[in-house]
Structure 1
Amino acid sequence: MKRLFPAILACVTAIALVTGCSSSSEEGQPTPPPAPIAKEPVSKEPAQPPGPTGEKKYDKAPEMQIDKNKDYQATISTSMGDFTIDLYEKDAPITVNNFVFLAKDKFYDNLTFHRVLKDFMIQTGDPLGTGIGGPGYNFEDELNNGHKYEVGVVAMANAGANTNGSQFFIGSGKDVEGLEFSPNYTIFGKVTEGLDVVQKIAAVPVKPNSQGEKSAPEQPVTIKTITIIEK
């Protein structure tokens, strides 16, 4: 499972933020460094179990398909409204290529925001909805690409170095800035329209998940579809 963890008042209080897959198709969760008010996306889970019928799986990461000389955006339509992401195709081309491929192949359609931490982030991209699902492959990080963790940031969740897959998170509150103390999650975009929708999702009532963390939405919030815009 992939998660993000915040450190509160100089204490590393782990709050998992999940995304990305490990070498065994697992999803990782972010973990916070020992720094004041810091949070991180990290995921470390056991091997991913077989997915439900209809779950899409791939043998390997996609070949490069995007044109880095063009500008890419993504409109994510959810059960609570739409928001638009400016994708960083020049600064994180491998990650953006992966996201565009999965979105165009409808991989993300009907997936849930399985992990919600109001002042930190909302996480999605897991076909299992548990934090351990992924597309069946991993790909490398693209860190230190000139962007920072802030409200509206879009970044991959992972289970360690170079274990990105399909899970990603969106910064919904100031706590996401704590990831600057441990910048281990590839930033590949930022919300440019509809941030109010992101924060509306972040504010839904939550209950404990299977690990006991109070981050599972009481009522499912889903991605209807993702539309890629190429200019």
Structure 2
Amino acid sequence: MGLSLAACQTPPAEHGEGGAKADAGVGKAPEGEKKGPTPEEIEAKKKAAAEAQAKAEAAKGCCKFCFAGTPCGDECLPEGKTCDEPEGEGCACSSDERPTRTFEEGWLPRPNSGILGPDVFSFNKAQGDPIDGPFTLEMAFEGDETLADKGKGTLTATFQTSMGDIECELYEDKAPLTVANFVGLARGKRPYLDPKNRKSDEWVTGNYYDNTIFHRVISKFMIQGGDPSASGRGTPGYFIPDEFHPSLRHSGPGILSMANRNPYDRVTQKPIYDEKTGLTVGNTGSAQFFITVRKTEALNDRHTVFGRCDTKVPTAISEVRTQSRPIPDKPFEDVTIKTISFTRK
């Protein structure tokens, strides 16, 4: 399901009306008019005004980002439309005026839980992320004019592995934040916390995926990588929003998709939705990814599809011999991702 947040209007603060004027002179106020407000009424109006002001201030901070479509001024344009506003002018917001949730450093969603998309960047900031807001394609392409120019062709990633190359088309238009994160980590443009040094709180840069392994391999299902710690538990210290585009499905072998720990309904295999906002509960992807070797429709709208790869090498990797312990489904002999490069074709 694609998620596009609509415009947010800041409500005006409420103003109390003055008490009715008494007739000039001394005596009873004319019938139909009230005397001056009582202390209780004054206090109630002050409280109402304070609540309205607090609501208005909260609404000012409701600026969010379009997870599908294009942010433009105070609107999220439909897919494929062009923004005519200068970059950075206005902001796309949520229509329910819901204030952004706040987090503490080190907090993580409990098992079988997650957070809402509009809260992702607030969570990241609380963890010390130096990127304030989304990491964009422009940031990911920095320093490479060819990658930044869509007119040069389809954005393509090439995994150079110990079992051969894997070439993948990336869906930058339909999953822009996911692609930006993947490219940024691979090119050393996206800061992260080192999964191999969990005690460090220093945000670093480097080619995140170089010399990592496919740490989880399941025959006739998928191959998973993207964890420098090789344990399956390593993360770069932040989350990215889910981007569920209706045209991107786990429809066969070669689908490049994001690993995560999003909750889902065990009976229906569908995502969990927040009752108040209708948004999916999840958004726990970060750096780990997988490539399918068969159709896996049950994963639709639970994992973000962001590319499609050729299938020969992924299928071969999926058939290597794996262990059951200490790390289940890890190959006995490492299958290494030497590096990931990008071009346009």
Deviation of the 1:162 alpha carbon: 0.9
Partner of 2:344 in structure 1? 230
Q: Relative contact order: is structure 1 or structure 2 higher (C-alpha 8 Å, sep ≥ 6)?
A: 1
Cα distance change of structure 1 residues 186 and 24 upon mapping to structure 2, 3 Å threshold = farther
| Aligned: 1:91 with 2:174 | yes
| Aligned: 1:184 with 2:302 | yes
Deviation of the 1:104 alpha carbon: 1.1
Alignment equivalent of 1:139, drawn from 240, 246, 267: 240
Identity of aligned residues (%): 39
Alignment equivalent of 1:216, drawn from 330, 337, 344: 330
Contact 2:210-2:338 at 8 Å conserved across structures: yes
**Structure 2: which amino acid aligns with 1:158?**
N
List aligned pairs for 1:28-39, cutoff 5 A: none
Contact 1:109-1:223 at 8 Å conserved across structures: yes
SS at match of 2:212: coil
List aligned pairs for 1:15-34, cutoff 5 A: none
Alignment equivalent of 2:211, drawn from 76, 101, 110: 110
Contact 1:126-1:134 at 8 Å conserved across structures: yes
The unaligned stretches of length 5 or more in structure 1 are 1-22, 31-56
Partner of 1:198 in structure 2? 314
Deviation of the 1:177 alpha carbon: 3.3
Partner of 1:157 in structure 2? 259
Deviation of the 1:144 alpha carbon: 3.0
Partner of 1:17 in structure 2? none
Cα distance change of structure 1 residues 143 and 128 upon mapping to structure 2, 3 Å threshold = same
After superposition, the CA RMSD in angstroms is 2.8
Task: Looking at secondary structure, tell me which structure has more helix per residue.
Answer: 2
CA distance in 1 between counterparts of 2:241 and 2:232 reads 19
Cα distance change of structure 1 residues 59 and 205 upon mapping to structure 2, 3 Å threshold = farther
Deviations 1:18-41 (A, max 9, x none): xxxxx9598xx99xxxxxxxxxxx
CA distance in 1 between counterparts of 2:163 and 2:235 reads 24
Q: TM-score, normalised by structure 2?
A: 0.47
CA distance in 1 between counterparts of 2:318 and 2:283 reads 27
CA distance in 2 between counterparts of 1:133 and 1:186 reads 19
Alignment length (residue pairs):
176
Max Rg structure: 2
Cα distance change of structure 1 residues 200 and 144 upon mapping to structure 2, 3 Å threshold = same
Partner of 2:290 in structure 1? 169
Deviations 1:140-170 (A, max 9, x none): 0001341110211000001221111110000
CA distance in 2 between counterparts of 1:58 and 1:206 reads 36
